[in-house]
Amino acid sequence: MHRYNCIIVEDEPLAAEVIKDYIDQVPFLQYKGTCTDALYAMDLLQKEKIDLVFLDIHLPKLKGLDFIKALKKPPQIIITTAYQEYALQGYEFNVVDYLLKPIEFSRFLMAVNKLKEREIMEALPASTTTGSERAALFFNVSKKRVKIYIDEILFIESLKEYIRITTKEKSILTKFQLGQIEEMLAKNGFLRVHRSFLVAKNKIEAFSATDIEINGEQIPIGRSYKEVVMAVLDT
């Protein structure tokens, strides 16, 4: 089993202690230390092979997002903060996840499991078209490979081992994990709003604190996703 060497960059001792306790409970994570400021963390990254950083945003000396900017080849980053207003900026840096304090262990597990999903995606051959063509993906549907244009996708729903991809014209069911397709579409304007739903942000017609409307369909906003979703949509 591949283990991810982790550090915590956090100036609040109690918050750091909670994250360390969570790390110790996950078999594929290996705790390597806690840094109380980003400058100390930068020094540690030069000395040790670190795969994952749990990063607070409001830090002394150098703020968390400025720390990411300063790294030429940053490791995987999971932001841990009490401030939801930086969510959009965080995702622009391709962070693994954005966790709002107080962090529940179940939500922590969701975040670190995305690391495994990224591993799977890196092992898959690229399916998107390149050049001036419209970006598209091919999916296995009833022994055929069906092309779906990314800019036509309205939303994607998880159904255990399968996902349902919905466009205005059709809906397909294919054996895939929602986390995998989320990684593939991370730079195409898609937003995870529920453990079972991924939506195209530019297809959202209306939203409230509890749901999103796309093409007449009501899609629920998960309780653990609400803060990040609201921060992104209210921007």
pLDDT of residue 94: 78
Helices (H) and strands (E) in the chain, counts: 7, 15
The residue with greater pLDDT, 211 or 162, is: 211
% of the chain exceeding 70 in pLDDT: 91
More confident residue, 119 or 54: 54
* pTM of the predicted structure, to 2 decimals: 0.56
Q: Give the right CATH number for 136-233 from 3.40.50.11540, 2.40.50.1020, 1.10.10.10, 2.170.150.20.
A: 2.40.50.1020
- In whole angstroms, give the CA distance from residue 174 to residue 161: 9
Angle made by CA atoms 190, 119, 110, in degrees to the nearest 5: 60
Residue with tokens 């089993």: 1
For the ranges 123-137, 193-207, 208-222, which has the lowest average pLDDT?
A: 123-137
Taking residue 193's Cβ as centre, other Cβ atoms within 10 Å add up to: 25
Q: 4-123 falls under which CATH superfamily?
A: Response regulator (3.40.50.2300)
* pLDDT, mean over the chain: 87
Domain coordinates of the chain in residue numbers?
4-123, 136-233
Please check the confidence at residue 11 and state whether its pLDDT lies above 70. yes
Which range (29-43, 59-73, 122-136) has the least confidence?
122-136
State yes or no: pLDDT of 117 exceeds 70. Answer: no
- C-alpha torsion sign, points 195, 191, 108, 75: positive
